[in-house]
Chain A
Amino acid sequence: MKTGIYPGCSLNGSARDYNESVFALAEAFGLELEQVSDWNCCGATAAHNLNKDLSLALPARILALAEKNGMDEIIVPCAACYNRLTLTQTELRKDPELRNHVSGIIEMDYKGTSGIINVIEWIDKYITPNLEGRIVIPYAHKVACYYGCLLVRPHKVLNYDRPEDPQSMDLVMSKIGAEPIYYPFKTECCGAGLSISRTDIVSKLSGKIIEDAESRGAEAIIVACPMCHSNLDMRRNDINKYWGKEFKIPVIFITQAIGHAIGLTDKKIGLKRHFVDVKIS
């Protein structure tokens, strides 16, 4: 079984901490992760708003490259990339004519043989079964697992977890000693791409999530999406200004939380890169 990784733009930029923690975990558990060579943009929010062919061709090229690289599956840590890639795979799987058309555009044969998994599936598959005896510092804190929109929706396409009340991250976190709280904002919008154009809306929406998690006693928000992370963490100053409050709750990638629990250094898992200070006791 050869597992590849498609990082997408975020993991090389604003979410380098995510990238570092994924690779740190892979190293710690002896997992091979080969990057899809010559990868390109997944199309993000822009492509499918402009041109359907483009929105399918970009992810299709990535998937075709993964096939060419002989990868049986690729892990896609960014929830948006995961969403775009899975959507493309589904569309092309059910419509052979469209698949031929897209294959023509990318000038590559696309068969659809590489599986796509998100970071939690990867953890469930390769890390949690081998956690026994590895936990050095149990993550003994109340946490609010925040899934956002793209990890679990649309359910018809992703067919992953429960769209209204997802549990997969909660389960992983409880395995490393955390106490996930029940809170109603698990899949509420963080403001997403408005991060750049309408920071005020992000401040309002992300602020609601933070406020609720904090008021219910959570000590950290756990995420698996670079966009969620940047809105909740990088925009914290704007959020605090908008709400007139001093929210201090840190926002941690699930891979960082596991990395910390198995005793990896803060530097190794990128904990120093956050805007909101992370101090895990």
Chain B
Amino acid sequence: MARIGVFICHCGENISATVDCAKVAETIGKLRHVVLSTEYKYMCSDPGQTLIKDAIKEYNLTGVVVSACSPRMHEPTFRRACAEAGLNPYMCEMANLREHCSWVHEKNDITTEKAIDIVRTQVEKVKLNYALQPIKVPVTRRALVIGGGIAGIQAALDIANTGHRVVMVERSPSIGGHMSQLSETFPTLDCSQCILTPRMVEVAQHPNITLYTYAEVESVEGFIGNFKVKIRKKAKSLDEKICTGCGLCTTKCPQKKIPNEFEQGMGNRPAIYIPFPQAVPNKPVIDRENCTYYIKGKCKVCEIVCPTKAIRFDQPDEILDLDIGAIVIATGFDVKHADFFPEYGYGKYKDVIDGLQFERLASASGPTSGAILRPSDGQVPKNIVFVACAGSRDPAKGIEYCSKICCMYTAKHAMLYKHKVHEGKAYIFYMDIRAAGKNYEEFVRRAIEEDHVEYVRGRISTIYEKNGKLIVKGADTLLGGQPVEVEADMVVLATAGVANSGAEELAQKLHVSYDSHKFFAEAHPKLKPVETNTAGIFLAGACQNPKDIPDSVSQASGAAVKVAGLFSQDELTREPLVAQVNRMAPPLYSTCVGCFLCQPVCPYQAIEREEFKARDGKLIKAVAKINEGLCQGCGTCVALCRSKSIDLHGYSNQQVYAEVMALLNEY
């Protein structure tokens, strides 16, 4: 005979402000088999949990329903509490009164009625719960880091330094990411490459790190501790073992007019190229889309000049199969380019550039060797306007969020300009100056007070060209919205930071969630900022939201600790909420008829074939069997099974049916 205890949480006022908790408790208390129905302000707190534990012992409960928040939030908490009181943790169910009821409805009787209904379904369900034991799985102690920017580099080094193996995959020919493009970094103005390139080299030389550049993740299967990852190593069209990286091929390549990605299109590169002088690895790749040989079938100049005969035109892409225990996503971000802004000329004006382009202009290794020259005619701009929040914080542009890094890098840009063009005039149009960070505010003050950068609070409505000047029109909102017009020689837009190209596709491959802006989503905005909702997959850097270097590095180290923690265990415990094909005594063995229609529909390849054989080896029957390690408990096979031979632990057909009937029946 079931003895059910129901615990209704107020969640502070989150639930009780909308739902009449006392009435819910009273009504539920009258249901059959409910021996205790009580309420409390914070069920997840220590006294709340003690309440549950004591009640389990006192009332000899066989099942518990905690009516509180989403099970995503606190199901593990309450299951643990039940286990501590000696009840099998899977005899505890949660009724979601917060996300499914109080947060989405107004306070009235119907809302309370709905809350009662939600609790009733779980009471009916928990009566049919049965004890389950966690599944133990082994751990592969090798991490995959996707992305070789500063976040990926930091995560890889930190994991590798704990003694575990790391595979780093970077889709471009070199690691380094956006940080390698930057000129100097705020708030110290130290040279970006000088602090980054030693770390890039460390990655390449670390005995625990295997680096695959010009490679992408093809597919990911499996689960925490046991991922099966396929990596596509794109053909670099040369034998890396023979190539010495002398670079002769890159100087002789006749195709020289390809926009250079590293220079943000402000310079050209050949078809066989090393992205930048400090690239790691420092060996070229052939860009097959632009190579004359691949387009026209002849050329092969690089092959002729190569002193070590390393060029391999017929090299195929290579697919690597790797066993991986944990994954760190560090795929970074991108910026909107000037062509995103109709009001600023759709990128039509050569001297309206984005922040990343300005970084290249200001960089000693850039197209102008660090001289600030305007792209149109190579002249030094005498008046320069920086536009902060170009796209960011602008719902009309579809980007409501703050890109976070722009206030600081814009101050830095204006400073760098003033340091190089002393007589020049630098304006920054801004909405607010967000300089929250160690030494950040001081840095902005320096730009204003020492470098005399003119900050104007207001937005730019339009930019257009007239008589060779860029007319920048805006308003000074500190002077009562007075119109301001600046005749500029050059304009730098601090364009919004957005998700990197391919982020959505990668998220779908990894089965991790992402937000409406295609940034990867963390498991909890405050308490699990490094985890994703998929166990064993972690986040580092700007793939989650725009971040500066210190934040990216901190998060990467956080992710590395999570990975190291995972790898410190001998085996992992998995939730036993998986599917099962029934078994019975011979000669039936199972009601499964062996049609195996369940096999192709399983998204996780978790369905195997089990054969029963006679002593002479003759096959008696073949039936489906679930691999508990791979099954994610989605239930697709249950729905499909024609003979109703598969059921899902924790969500059995009987349990779901009981929930539905509870809703249909009067009480």
Contact = CB atoms under 8 A, between A and B. Distances in A.
A277 interface: no
A155 B395 CA distance: 12
B466 A164 contact: no
Contact of B342 (A162, A183, A188, A215): A162
B341 to A, nearest CB: 8
Interface string A149-163: 000000100000011
Interface of chain B, main secondary structure: mixed
Nearest to B465: A184
Contact-residue bracket for chain A:
10 to 19
18 contacts: A155-B396, A162-B342, A163-B396, A164-B341, A164-B342, A164-B343, A165-B342, A165-B343, A165-B346, A182-B348, A183-B464, A184-B345, A184-B462, A184-B463, A184-B464, A184-B471, A212-B466, A215-B466
A184 B464 CA distance: 6
Interface string B382-423: 000000000000001000000000000000000000000000
A201 to B, nearest CB: 12
Q: Give me the 8 closest cross-chain CB pairs, A-B, nearest first.
A: A184-B464, A165-B342, A164-B342, A164-B343, A184-B462, A162-B342, A155-B396, A165-B346
Interface residues of B, number: 12
Nearest to A156: B396
A188 B342 CA distance: 14
**Most interface-central of A163, A183, A184, A215 (chain B CB within 10 A):** A184
Interface in A160-218: 162-165, 182-184, 188, 212, 215
Nearest to A154: B396
Given A184-B462, A184-B471, 13 more contacts: A163-B396, A164-B341, A165-B342, A165-B343, A165-B346, A182-B348, A183-B464, A184-B345, A184-B463, A184-B464, A188-B462, A212-B466, A215-B466
A165 B343 CA distance: 7
A183 B462 CA distance: 11
A215 B464 CA distance: 14
Interface in B12-53: none
Interface in B277-314: none
Nearest to A166: B342
Interface in B346-377: 346, 348
A34 to B, nearest CB: 37
Contacts of B346: 165
**Most interface-central of B346, B348, B462, B471 (chain A CB within 10 A):** B462
Nearest to A212: B466
Nearest to A155: B396
Contacts of B396: 155, 163
A155 B348 CA distance: 24
A163 B464 CA distance: 16
Interface in A25-70: none
Nearest to A211: B466
Contacts of A155: 396
Contacts of B463: 184
A161 B596 CA distance: 54
Contacts of B345: 184
Contacts of A182: 348
Nearest to A216: B466
Contacts of B342: 162, 164-165
Nearest to A184: B464
A188 B463 CA distance: 12
A155 B346 CA distance: 19
Contacts of B343: 164-165
Nearest to B395: A156
A212 B345 CA distance: 16
A162 B345 CA distance: 13
